[in-house]
């Protein structure tokens, strides 16, 4: 056996990382984000089981778990498979999409307050989704309409504040203005249509997992399937966005291309999630914060953000379903009650 | 900053020079703008009397105003449209002046009661009062004003914290967060209590429809108080624009003035919210236009805010009646559509004007 040279990669792997190699292939993984992802995954699993168990008909954990795979009494299986499981999946998918989009947008703008909800993308998507439901002459699927609304809102918010990139707080307030415009547009449409159409569009105005439709959920699943790998692949480029453009370019990143892909990814994920659950923008603020806290690393915690968002969404929906039991609190309201004080706290605390 | 307005006696011999300076700075004298603003306010009042959702057209309404016309037309114009117009005028003036005062106190051109959660505080207070079993009529005004006061105090305390002071725009973010919290809590309260929800549902969206004059009468004392306090405040506030040290050098008490001004804002916005529900962006757009027309001195701004506020609110109300003839649009939607571009314009301005 030869003595390992100081340059042997096995020995020079930095502390706090996991090193995996096989022949010419090798992979360096940071330990802290992996640990965070593990913790979040476990918590998500527990929350999911709880979400299957609790409701107007309480079940034991094992019964719920079995019923999810089709074993047990017929009624139990029906409740779990037809009612709770789709809702749980919708919660996980929308939470992950919102939170990932939020993390991407925050990284892009270099500002932890710059979530799609705050800069008006949610409202734009909502306005257009509502337009498709109440039938304003255009008949496209809600996800497509939501996407076009989100794109328009993004173009307005960024265009009015002068391009993609760090714009500080001014850009956020331009976004608030754009969001207010689209919110007014939504109300305008709801006021013009019949009460039935307005009721069917109501979930989109507050954010609820109650009235998700299967097609939109499929679209969201597709968006996540494509979006998450792209985001993870972008991760390294996103890390360099914190530096100046010159440094990032010097490190070999095509800065403007990374920005553009990030922006598109964020917009598409937000739009797909809004088409399912309506504007629950606070998830995009809270999810990445939890992920950042847990992974304790300066990088961009993409995977952990997605998991944390899913966890938060599932918990918020669970709370909304069970707290005032016969009544159901829409998840958007739960998230606003939880998230807004947190947003205030961030704003007042950090003298950036 | 516009220079202090010279007194009329001094200005008259030098009227020409004064006009020249106003031209140079692109601003007009109050005397030049005020008649036009009043005219536009009168015209919108007239429009508000003439047009409506019902069968009574402009011509019939004109006949009623001339003292003729059928009983039905008389009823529609005098009993339905006239009180509505009156309430709209008062609400418009209150919101505009509240916005102007708040902007001076916060030293921030974006400080708008609707955006910063003051109106949301008022409607939250009313929702909680209904939840606790109070009756809807009569109590609204006081409750709404105390809620508005709480919202004001919160927002103003954020202004004083280090974070919001550096960048005027941060205040708006904090306000947006506060408002979304209060709106969510309001809808939560409405979810819990169905009776409250039925009583308040028409009210939380902001509209002038179906408001009675009794509500206006019950808020009159507080409005009078607010007017008196504003008259007392005008001079110290315009001194405070020059900085707190200058103001105290001129013999004013900045802290006391600020407290009274916050109280006035709460009185005005609370009463306006109790009358018409939350109506955003009037307090942003109107003072912005007023300042653009005749300079930043708060005394001139306040005077100009009166007719301009009436104009904005009533024109929004008339449009809200005419767009979807049988039903009506929420008033807040139209004021948002008019005011949000102003917000974007202010933010876009390269040098954010600090008051």
Residue-averaged pLDDT of chain A: 81
| Mean pLDDT computed over B220-230 | 91
Q: How far is residue B251 from each of residues B106, B239, B244, B246, B257, measured CA to CA in Å?
A: 21, 10, 11, 9, 12
Do residues B153 and B212 touch, judged by C-beta distance below 8 A?
A: no
User: According to the model, what pLDDT value does residue B42 have?
Assistant: 92
User: According to the model, what pLDDT value does residue B91 have?
Assistant: 92
Min Cα distance B235 → chain A (Å) is 32
Rounded to whole angstroms, the Cα distance separating B17 from B6 reads 12
Q: Is residue A335 part of a domain?
A: yes
| Higher-scoring residue by pLDDT: B139, B223 | B223
Mutation test of the interface with chain A: which of B111, B115, B185, B188, choosing the one with the most A Cβ atoms within 10 A? B188
Residue-averaged pLDDT of chain B: 79
Does A343 sit within 8 Å of B177, measured CB to CB? yes
For residue A185, the chain B residues in CB contact (below 8 A) are 337
Judge whether residue A9 has pLDDT over 60. Answer: no
Q: Is residue A245 part of a domain?
A: yes
Min Cα distance B320 → chain A (Å) is 10
- Domains for chain B: give ranges and CATH numbers: 79-348 (1.10.3470.10)
Does B188 sit within 8 Å of A333, measured CB to CB? yes
Q: Is residue A249 part of a domain?
A: yes
- For the segment B271-315, what is each residue's pLDDT rounded down to a tens digit? 888 888 888 889 999 999 998 888 778 888 898 999 999 999 999
| Mean pLDDT computed over B7-24 | 42
Does B340 sit within 8 Å of A178, measured CB to CB? yes
- For the segment A79-116, what is each residue's pLDDT rounded down to a tens digit? 777 778 888 999 999 999 999 999 998 888 877 888 88
User: According to the model, what pLDDT value does residue B214 have?
Assistant: 79
Q: Is residue A293 part of a domain?
A: yes
Task: Using the Cα atoms of residue B281, residue B288, residue A174 and residue A114 in order, give the sign of their dihedral.
Answer: negative
In the structure, what pLDDT confidence band is assigned to residue A42 with cuts at 50, 70 and 90?
very high
> What percent of chain B shows pLDDT beyond 70?
81
> What percent of chain A shows pLDDT beyond 70?
89
Nearest CB neighbour to A333, from listed B177, B184, B337: B184
Judge whether residue B12 has pLDDT over 50. Answer: no
Q: Is residue A135 part of a domain?
A: yes
Query: What pTM, to 2 d.p., does this model score?
Result: 0.81
| Higher-scoring residue by pLDDT: B194, A103 | A103
For residue B347, the chain A residues in CB contact (below 8 A) are 160-161, 170, 173-174, 177
User: According to the model, what pLDDT value does residue A172 have?
Assistant: 80
Q: Is residue A64 part of a domain?
A: no
User: According to the model, what pLDDT value does residue B314 have?
Assistant: 93
Does B329 sit within 8 Å of A351, measured CB to CB? no
Two structure tokens written together for A133: 């439901």
User: According to the model, what pLDDT value does residue B9 have?
Assistant: 42
Q: Is residue A24 part of a domain?
A: no
| Higher-scoring residue by pLDDT: B276, B353 | B276
In the structure, what pLDDT confidence band is assigned to residue B135 with cuts at 50, 70 and 90?
low
For residue B193, the chain A residues in CB contact (below 8 A) are none
User: According to the model, what pLDDT value does residue B165 have?
Assistant: 56
CB distance from B276 to chain A under 8 Å?
no
- Which are the contacts of A324, defined by CB distance < 8 A and separation ≥ 6? B191, B192
| Higher-scoring residue by pLDDT: A119, A30 | A119
Judge whether residue A330 has pLDDT over 70. Answer: yes
Interface ipTM:
0.78
Backbone angles phi, psi at A22, to 5 degrees: -145, 105
User: According to the model, what pLDDT value does residue B180 have?
Assistant: 86
Rounded to whole angstroms, the Cα distance separating A24 from A39 reads 31
In the structure, what pLDDT confidence band is assigned to residue B27 with cuts at 50, 70 and 90?
low
Q: Is residue A282 part of a domain?
A: yes
| Mean pLDDT computed over B161-190 | 76
Min Cα distance B338 → chain A (Å) is 9
User: According to the model, what pLDDT value does residue A27 have?
Assistant: 73
CA-closest candidate to residue B161, choices A340, A346, A348, A347? A348
Least confident of A164-173, A190-199, A233-242: A164-173
For residue B334, the chain A residues in CB contact (below 8 A) are 184
* Boundaries of domain holding A312: 40-50+73-349
Judge whether residue B32 has pLDDT over 90. Answer: no
For residue A58, count other CB atoms closer than 10 A to its CB.
10
User: According to the model, what pLDDT value does residue B30 have?
Assistant: 77
Do residues A205 and A83 touch, judged by C-beta distance below 8 A?
A: no
User: According to the model, what pLDDT value does residue A92 have?
Assistant: 93
Min Cα distance B164 → chain A (Å) is 7
- For the segment A127-141, what is each residue's pLDDT rounded down to a tens digit? 888 887 776 555 567
The total number of structural domains in chain A stands at 1
- For the segment A290-311, what is each residue's pLDDT rounded down to a tens digit? 888 888 766 788 888 999 999 9
User: According to the model, what pLDDT value does residue A224 have?
Assistant: 92
Backbone angles phi, psi at A127, to 5 degrees: -60, -45
| Higher-scoring residue by pLDDT: A40, A71 | A40
Rounded to whole angstroms, the Cα distance separating A35 from A140 reads 43
For residue A256, count other CB atoms closer than 10 A to its CB.
12
User: According to the model, what pLDDT value does residue A10 have?
Assistant: 54
User: According to the model, what pLDDT value does residue A145 have?
Assistant: 83
Does A191 sit within 8 Å of B329, measured CB to CB? yes
Does A172 sit within 8 Å of B191, measured CB to CB? no
Rounded to whole angstroms, the Cα distance separating B181 from A339 reads 8
- Which are the contacts of B105, defined by CB distance < 8 A and separation ≥ 6? B111, B156, B237, B258, B261, B262, B265
User: According to the model, what pLDDT value does residue A91 have?
Assistant: 92
User: According to the model, what pLDDT value does residue B1 have?
Assistant: 38
**CB–CB contacts below 8 A, A to B:** 126
Q: List beta partners, residue A22.
A: A25
| Mean pLDDT computed over A191-203 | 71
- For the segment B85-114, what is each residue's pLDDT rounded down to a tens digit? 999 999 999 999 999 998 888 888 888 888
Min Cα distance B178 → chain A (Å) is 7
Which CATH number does the domain housing residue A163 bear? Answer: 1.10.3470.10
Judge whether residue A314 has pLDDT over 90. Answer: yes
User: According to the model, what pLDDT value does residue B3 have?
Assistant: 42
Does A181 sit within 8 Å of B340, measured CB to CB? yes
| Mean pLDDT computed over B61-68 | 79
Does B347 sit within 8 Å of A173, measured CB to CB? yes
Does B333 sit within 8 Å of A187, measured CB to CB? yes
Rounded to whole angstroms, the Cα distance separating B352 from B344 reads 12
Backbone angles phi, psi at B122, to 5 degrees: -65, -45
Does B187 sit within 8 Å of A333, measured CB to CB? yes
- Which are the contacts of B247, defined by CB distance < 8 A and separation ≥ 6? B236, B239, B240, B254, B257
- Which are the contacts of B281, defined by CB distance < 8 A and separation ≥ 6? A180, B112, B114, B115, B335, B336, B338, B339, B340, B342, B343
| Mean pLDDT computed over A52-80 | 76
Q: List beta partners, residue A21.
A: A26
Two structure tokens written together for B280: 């955003």
Long-range contacts of A196-204 (CB under 8 A, 24+ apart): A197/A133, A197/A134, A197/A135, A198/A134, A200/A133, A200/A134, A201/A130, A201/A133, A201/A134, A203/A277, A203/A278, A203/A330, A204/A126, A204/A129, A204/A130, A204/A133, A204/A274, A204/A278, A204/A279
For residue A321, the chain B residues in CB contact (below 8 A) are none
User: According to the model, what pLDDT value does residue A350 have?
Assistant: 59
| Higher-scoring residue by pLDDT: A235, B317 | B317
């Amino acid at each position: 056996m030869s003595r390992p040279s100081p340059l042997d990669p096995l020995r020079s792997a930095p502390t706090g990382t996991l090193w995996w190699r096989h022949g010419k292939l090798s992979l360096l993984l940071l330990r802290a984000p992996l640990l965070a992802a593990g913790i979040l995954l476990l918590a998500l699993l527990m929350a999911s089981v709880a979400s299957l168990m609790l409701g107007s008909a309480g079940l034991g954990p094992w019964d719920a778990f079995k019923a999810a795979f089709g074993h047990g009494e017929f009624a139990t299986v029906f409740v779990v498979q037809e009612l709770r499981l789709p809702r749980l999946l919708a919660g996980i998918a929308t939470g992950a999409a919102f939170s990932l989009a939020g993390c991407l947008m925050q990284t892009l703008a270099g500002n932890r307050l710059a979530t799609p909800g705050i800069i008006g993308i949610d409202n734009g998507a909502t306005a257009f989704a509502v337009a498709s439901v109440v039938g304003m002459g255009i008949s496209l699927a809600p996800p497509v309409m939501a996407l076009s609304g989100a794109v328009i809102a993004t173009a307005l918010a960024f265009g009015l504040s002068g391009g993609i990139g760090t714009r500080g707080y001014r850009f956020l307030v331009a976004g608030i203005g754009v969001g207010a415009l689209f919110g007014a547009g939504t109300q305008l449409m709801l006021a013009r249509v019949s009460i039935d159409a307005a009721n069917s569009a109501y979930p989109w105005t507050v954010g609820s997992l109650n009235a998700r439709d299967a097609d939109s959920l499929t679209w969201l699943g597709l968006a996540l399937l494509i979006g998450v790998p792209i985001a993870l692949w972008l991760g390294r480029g996103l890390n360099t966005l914190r530096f100046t453009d010159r440094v990032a370019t010097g490190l070999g990143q095509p800065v403007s291309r990374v920005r553009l892909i990030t922006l598109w990814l964020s917009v598409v994920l937000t739009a797909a999630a809004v088409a399912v659950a309506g504007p629950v923008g606070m998830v995009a603020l809270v999810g990445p914060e939890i992920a950042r806290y847990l992974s304790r690393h300066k990088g961009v915690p993409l995977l952990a953000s997605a998991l944390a968002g899913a966890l938060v969404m599932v918990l918020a929906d669970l709370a909304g379903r069970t707290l005032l039991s016969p009544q159901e609190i829409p998840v958007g309201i739960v998230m606003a009650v939880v998230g807004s004080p947190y947003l205030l706290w961030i704003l007042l605390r950090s003298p950036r | 900053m516009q220079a202090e307005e010279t007194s009329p006696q001094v200005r008259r011999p030098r009227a020409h020079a004064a006009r020249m300076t106003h031209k140079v700075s692109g601003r007009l004298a109050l005397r030049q703008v005020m008649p036009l603003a009043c005219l536009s306010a009168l015209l919108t009042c007239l429009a508000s009397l003439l047009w409506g959702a019902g069968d009574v057209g402009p011509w019939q309404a004109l006949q009623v105003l001339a003292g003729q016309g059928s009983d039905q037309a008389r009823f529609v114009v005098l009993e339905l449209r006239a009180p509505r117009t009156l309430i709209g005028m008062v609400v418009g003036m209150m919101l505009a002046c509240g916005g102007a005062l708040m902007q001076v106190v916060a030293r921030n051109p974006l400080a708008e009661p609707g955006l910063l959660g003051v109106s949301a505080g008022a409607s939250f207070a009313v929702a909680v009062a209904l939840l606790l079993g109070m009756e809807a009529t009569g109590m609204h005004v006081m409750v709404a004003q105390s809620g508005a006061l709480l919202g004001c105090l919160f927002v103003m305390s954020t202004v004083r914290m280090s974070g919001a002071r550096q960048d005027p725009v941060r205040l708006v973010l904090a306000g947006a967060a506060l408002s979304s919290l209060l709106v969510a809590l309001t809808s939560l309260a409405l979810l819990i209590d169905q009776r409250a929800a039925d009583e308040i549902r028409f009210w939380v969206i902001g509209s002038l429809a179906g408001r009675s004059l009794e509500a206006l009468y019950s808020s009159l004392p507080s409005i009078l108080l607010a007017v008196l306090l504003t008259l007392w405040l005008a001079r110290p506030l315009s001194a405070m624009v020059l900085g707190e040290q200058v103001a105290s050098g001129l013999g004013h008490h900045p802290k006391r003035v600020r407290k009274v001004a916050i109280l006035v804002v709460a009185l005005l916005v609370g009463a306006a919210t109790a009358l018409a529900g939350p109506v955003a962006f009037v307090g942003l757009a109107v003072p912005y236009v007023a300042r653009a027309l005749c300079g930043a001195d708060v005394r001139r701004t306040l005077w100009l805010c009166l007719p301009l506020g009436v104009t904005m609110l009533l024109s929004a109300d008339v449009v809200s009646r005419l767009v979807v003839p049988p039903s009506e649009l929420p008033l807040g939607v139209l004021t948002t559509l008019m005011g949000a571009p102003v917000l974007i314009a202010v933010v876009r301005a390269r040098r954010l004007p600090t008051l």
